[in-house]
A and B are shown apart, each in its own frame.
Chain A
């Protein structure tokens, strides 16, 4: 007679998943690859804002030029 397959115990499965998550967390902290983008220094705010204003300015001027306003 074939043994019926028992459904996994939800409590056991949950505990196992928690353990796996914790293990991944520890492994990532110790051996994980730090992405340069994450640890890279932030762009100086005034530079970033200057660029954002430039982008907005070009967009606005372009829209005006295409509308025949310039």
Chain B
């Protein structure tokens, strides 16, 4: 019963620690004064970046020890409580507001439009709260998401076990930008996989609040809350918040970078905003290569802005220089690390050009990643196809829902709004680049807050519609939002028992995680000393070292060196492996495994050499994607 509470307690501990680290920095920059929400959001975001960089530094020095991380968190957490008390103290706030100059947005907003009606505010907030609560319940269950178990959690687990941020040659993802994985490592050090998963849920909350911060200077705070609610009701966002992945984190930091960039360029506020834009941009670049695409989109929008108004040229050029310098300083460590280990700073992309060891194995622009092709007709119809058939673009779970396709075209009926053009141009440029490069729907999350601002402006302008037309469109929007809240609430029903502590995590994993049974056997019999060669990439639940067979085969071509089928176990044992995990998909649904290793092992068994291949466990597992999989865990009993 206490396990979920302990995991849940780690989330405020991490948030408070981040706040403690970030608030002095944000106060030092003197931005967001007089606006408690903006100040708090930026404090947590900057603190997270500082903590992530600290963990990265410790990892590079080989000093990643869970007890140290725990003690450091505890101490900083108390500091965060003190900072929070100080921020909430009205006497100190008054002193601050008297001493410091106020920014243009700090005064009471003089909105040229009415506030949203109460029923809209309350309705949107209730739906958003339901969606967040549903995703929180799901996030309290042990992690089972495929990519999370392959590397988002597996890598920090391995780093923590080695106390160092080492290079893992048979894990392609180990040289990606891994800032988010450093935060997951933080959660793993404090508690375990659930706490790490909750970190991503917390980053989803940061995305929602960052959307409010982005929208505030454009549509004013009361409507900005509606923007936040819309973001919280996007199915792809609530789905991502339930698993330790990195797309929501990326969206949170691109949104903050865009918000700070807006303040500096369009808002004409302090140039210090560019430093914060650089910090957020650097965090985004440290999360996923996709952030570079967002930077290009912002650059295109900025260039367009200069064409429209030459007077902005100077501030934009200066701002760009500051942002790039800070962003590269924050994120550079990951790109240097990849260049050192792989010979390619953006490994495995552009391997065709940069000639790293992934050449041939990876194509930067494969046709399979562009279901709509790359032509003008596909571009024009992309929004429709992505909305109606998200399963073609990475899965229904990551979809954006119908709201944006329904509402965004209404922008042609609205009046111009200061600042909306910049974020609209950025979103448009990003979507075009997305279409040309990788048509995966979850890669669209960075533009969700911008699209939500457009949607809210369209809603505001609907007050100029005839009443019946307004009510009809409004009713449809209400239905879409209600579905957005219902999806995460209904999805969490399977996790409710384990989240509430009525079901053990082991029992839950036995029902939901295909590799759990094999991992249990391996852990109990051999502990962390084993070395597993696995056809399944889900390695997180194994306590021992796990090597992916497909990557190992590509690197060593071991299969080509085995001439005699009877010597398979011998060859693998000689290479240092103690076990193999064979995985086969017995159905035509879900991912299929390369059968090379299964074929080799079966060939040895057929040759009558079964003594050196001891079958420890064999079982079938009906997965949630409809696939029926067979797993075999074999011990390589080789005595030299």
Contacts and interface: CB of A to CB of B under 8 A. Distances in A.
**Interface residue tally of chain B, by bracket?**
20 to 34
Interface in B388-410: 388-389, 396, 401-402, 405-407, 409-410
Looking at chain A's contact residues, the main secondary structure is helix
Contact of B464 (A42, A61, A70): A42
Interface string A39-51: 0111101011101
B402 A58 contact: yes
Interface string B460-474: 110111100110110
B349 interface: no
B107 interface: no
Contacts of B113: 35-37
B476 interface: yes
Interface string B470-500: 1011001101100000000000000000000
Given A37-B460, A70-B388, A48 B476 contact: no
A20 interface: no
B387 interface: yes
A19 interface: no
Interface residues of A, number: 23
B112 interface: yes
B415 interface: yes
Looking at chain B's contact residues, the main secondary structure is helix
Contacts of B472: 52, 55-56
B410 A59 contact: no
A52 B413 contact: no
B464 A43 contact: yes
Nearest to B460: A37
Contacts of B388: 61-62, 65, 70
Contacts of A35: 112-114
Interface in B62-98: none
A40 B463 CA distance: 10
Interface in A54-70: 54-56, 58-59, 61-62, 65-66, 70
A54 B389 CA distance: 18
Nearest to A70: B388
A58 B384 CA distance: 9
6 contacts: A37-B463, A51-B413, A58-B476, A59-B480, A62-B405, A62-B406
Interface of B: 112-114, 387-389, 396, 401-402, 405-407, 409-410, 413, 415, 460-461, 463-466, 469-470, 472-473, 476-477, 479-480
